[in-house]
Amino acid sequence: MGLDPLGRRDRFTRTPTGKRLQLTERDRDILRWLHRYRYLRQDHLIRILSPKSPKRFIERLGDLFHETGFINRPQIQAPLFDARATPMLYEISPKGTRYLDELGQLPSRAVTFSTRRRNSFSPQFLHTMMIIDTLLDTELESIATPHRTFMPVDDILARAPETTRNARNPLALPIRINGQASKIIPDALYGIAHTEQTPTGYRFIALECERTSPRHRNTGTASSTSKKQIAYAELQRTKAFTSLWGIPNLELRVVTSEKDRAPKNGR
């Protein structure tokens, strides 16, 4: 049955006991938020849904993993996992996605990460979580602020031209720097709607999260924050985002540390 010598279920192996679960609206909220962001830790979900009993909520997440198969505990976190200090990470499973789809409740995504499963640790996973942490902070701050609405990337792309929506990577924007053709692909794209304005005012932000890239590099091919800023300056000059994404403006937000994650002025 996948139990350890003390009779406990393995944390990363689905081990159902036959417990019957009646799914609740909060269970569906969990699935919707996981579909929106792909990866969320249990402390993220507690922050989002504010359960009366965090302990019982964590137990419920375990039931949704073991008994329903609607959520996964990604193996990608295993090399980083310390049972005493690391909150468990979850993602929606294909079965959970099908369940929401059948209900007509698939929400717009806030990230465009592939749903392909990865079974081994990659340093890029830490970058992925930095993007998720930043976007989630921004969305929850928007929810708590009157007259402000977070616009996820799916809602932005829904208004983009059909050629963009059907592109292999709809976030890839062609640019030319010093006569050389290139592309800029933000880590994420989102909008903030200011509904107190008449008509409603929209600001669109390209997010770049920099964990390890230095501010400058001497080589012309490797990434650096300064090179990305030059690319976005060129993008502002050409306004290519208007024709490709159908948005009237674009700001660059660069996050390099925990301190930078806190939204500022609705960003």
Enumerate the domain spans of the chain. Answer: 25-103, 124-261
Q: Which of these, 124, 105, 245, lies nearest to 173 by C-alpha position?
A: 245
CATH number belonging to domain 25-103: 1.10.10.10
pTM: 0.86
Q: What is the pLDDT of residue 263?
A: 67
- Provide the CB-side half-sphere exposure for 216 (13 A, CA): 1
**What pLDDT does residue 220 have?**
46
Task: Identify the CA nearest to 135 among candidates 232, 205, 78.
Answer: 205
Q: Is the pLDDT of residue 79 over 70?
A: no
203, β-bridge pairs: 192
Residue 143 has pLDDT above 80, yes or no: yes
Average pLDDT over residues 163-182: 88
Measured N-to-C along each axis, helices 25-37 and 94-103 cross at an angle, to the nearest 10 degrees, of 120
d(Cα 237, Cα 231) in Å, to the nearest integer?
10
- Asked if the model's pLDDT at residue 80 lies above 70, the reply is no
Confidence of residue 214 (pLDDT cuts 50, 70, 90): very low
Report the residue count for the chain: 267
Categorize the per-residue pLDDT at 174 as very low, low, confident or very high, splitting at 50, 70 and 90: confident
**pLDDT value, residue 12:** 73
Mean pLDDT of 71-84: 72
Give the range among 25-29, 124-128, 190-194 with minimum mean pLDDT. 124-128
pLDDT of residue 41: 95
Has residue 35 got a pLDDT over 90?
yes
Say yes or no to pLDDT of 219 above 50.
no
Tell me the pLDDT band of 222, cut-offs 50, 70 and 90.
Answer: very low
Most confident of 63-72, 83-92, 180-189: 63-72
